[in-house]
Chains A and B, each alone.
Chain A
Amino acid sequence: MSRDVKKRLRRTMLFLNAQRPSLMKDAYVYAPDSVIFDLEDAVAENQKDAARFSLYNNLRSIDYGEVERIVRVNGLDTPHWVEDIRASVAGGADGIRIPKCERARDVRRIEEAIESAERAFSRKPGSTLIMAAIESPRGVLNALEICESSERLFGVALSGGDFRAAMQTKYYPSGVEMAAARGNVLIAARASGVQCFDTVFTNIDDIEGFKSEVIMNREMGFDGKSVVNPRQIAIVHEIFTPGEREIREAERVVTALSENANDGVGVFLVDGKMVDIAFLAGARRTLALARAGGVYKGDL
């Protein structure tokens, strides 16, 4: 699989109930970077079969354009997950989201089922990506082995609902109850070179609270956020899109690094700040985000 696909822009991942056609039919118009068709918690136990039929047919017939299509399958402790994967792979899903992932072998079990489905349905081997949702204290503690478990794994997502319950706490606007988990999972993701996504914000009407959390996510270094309502998409994209000042600063860093490298200089000043090669990746990422957000047309 290509590195570009694994590293594609994923600022927003919009959850949609796979059993509800009204949600699935035009999700692409809201322009999230990814959609996550949910076969798990959003679907009642006696509708799991119907959701799979709906998912498969809609995956095959609706053109989502550039929007990535991920499927959240049911957990490994249910009788549903293998058939969920078969329907998803046969339908042409871009990836599978593993719920309640706690260890590397959870990822490997999912990967084996994907490999089998790719063979059965003549999909290109390795074309179906994986992301893992970390929802428990054990999952947080095992984040590094999860992040390093598979070549297919493009990222991990922290899931707050179950995690807060397991930690015997609840949502607080400060985010203090999630601070350790956010830090641990993010560090594991960065150490292994995969992406990291923050949990959903479920109070749809609390726009200011949502903005504060997204700003914190960006400042911490997350790649994006799971969202539950289309109204949240534009807010995340705006906050994750660099401003004019950041863009110009990044341009100057990239240009200065290139020029100074040619002159054999490793450390120098840009706008009064000391800069060296360690700043290059961040500056390039800023420009890539700005380009993706449509606010940068340059060629650096």
Chain B
Amino acid sequence: MEIKSEATAGTLESSDAQVTIEPSDGGIYFELSSSVMNQYGRQIRNVVLETLKNLEVESAKIKVVDRGALDSTIKARVECAVFRSSGWEGAIPWRGLVK
């Protein structure tokens, strides 16, 4: 999955996360700021990297500003940012469920 342009999804409201993704020269560059960094920083990182892995994104700069989002919200925002950047419909999770 190729990240083609900078794209953002989500907001800075409470319980949300704003995810910005852009192309990189190679590899994943991850940046996180969170109001609950000490308690959940590692978990947020795991959710973001796992989601990128599932979407077969191998090269990207990704920045997450977390406002106390649930894992499902972080996942949704990453998927949406990848979809907006790549235009790839495979980033739409329910598409992958089609038998």
Binds B, one of A47-55, A103-111, A204-212, A215-223: A47-55
Given known A-B contacts A21-B69, A61-B72, A56 and B14 have beta carbons under 8 A apart? no
Interface membership of A142, Cβ < 8 A: no
Q: List 17 A-B contacts (CB under 8 A).
A: A21-B13, A22-B14, A22-B16, A25-B70, A49-B80, A49-B83, A50-B9, A50-B10, A50-B77, A53-B76, A53-B77, A53-B80, A57-B72, A57-B93, A58-B73, A121-B94, A121-B98
B66-99 with Cβ < 8 A to chain A: 69-73, 75-77, 79-80, 83-84, 92-94, 97-99
Residues on A with C-beta less than 8 A from B9 are: 50, 53
Interface membership of A91, Cβ < 8 A: yes
Question: Is there contact, CB below 8 Å, between A53 and B16?
Answer: no
Interface membership of A170, Cβ < 8 A: no
What separation, in Å, do the CA atoms of A18 and B70 have in the docked complex?
14
Residues on A with C-beta less than 8 A from B10 are: 50
Question: Is there contact, CB below 8 Å, between A122 and B94?
Answer: no
Residues on A with C-beta less than 8 A from B69 are: 21
Q: How far is the CB of A114 from chain B (nearest CB, A)?
A: 14
Residues on B with C-beta less than 8 A from A20 are: 13, 16
Given known A-B contacts A22-B13, A25-B15, A121-B97, A61 and B80 have beta carbons under 8 A apart? no
| Additional pairs, 16, CB under 8 Å, beyond known A57-B75, A61-B71, A120-B98 | A21-B13, A22-B15, A25-B70, A25-B73, A53-B9, A53-B76, A53-B77, A53-B92, A54-B76, A56-B93, A58-B76, A90-B93, A90-B94, A91-B94, A121-B99, A122-B97
Determine which residue in A22, A61, A62, A121 has the highest number of CB atoms from chain B within 10 A of its CB, and name it: A22
Interface membership of A138, Cβ < 8 A: no
Given known A-B contacts A25-B73, A50-B80, A57-B76, A120 and B99 have beta carbons under 8 A apart? yes
For chain B, the bracket of interface size reads 20 to 34
Given known A-B contacts A22-B13, A58-B76, A122-B99, A53 and B93 have beta carbons under 8 A apart? yes
Query: Can you name the residue of chain A whose Cβ is closest to the Cβ of B17?
Result: A21
Interface membership of A86, Cβ < 8 A: yes
Given known A-B contacts A49-B80, A53-B80, A21 and B94 have beta carbons under 8 A apart? no
Encode contact with B along A35-78: 1 for CB under 8 Å, 0 otherwise: 00000000000000110011011101110000000000000000
Query: Can you name the residue of chain B whose Cβ is closest to the Cβ of A87?
Result: B94
Main SS at interface, chain B: helix
Residues on B with C-beta less than 8 A from A53 are: 9, 76-77, 79-80, 83, 92-93
Chain A residues with CB under 8 Å of chain B are 20-22, 25, 49-50, 53-54, 56-58, 60-62, 86-87, 90-91, 120-122
Give the A-B contact count at a CB cut-off of 8 A. Answer: 69
What separation, in Å, do the CA atoms of A60 and B96 have in the docked complex?
14
What separation, in Å, do the CA atoms of A21 and B69 have in the docked complex?
8
What separation, in Å, do the CA atoms of A62 and B15 have in the docked complex?
14
Closest 7 CB pairs of A and B: A90-B94, A22-B15, A61-B72, A57-B76, A53-B76, A57-B72, A21-B73
Residues on B with C-beta less than 8 A from A54 are: 73, 76-77, 80
B1-27 with Cβ < 8 A to chain A: 9-10, 13-16
Determine which residue in A25, A57, A91, A120 has the highest number of CB atoms from chain B within 10 A of its CB, and name it: A57
B24-77 with Cβ < 8 A to chain A: 69-73, 75-77
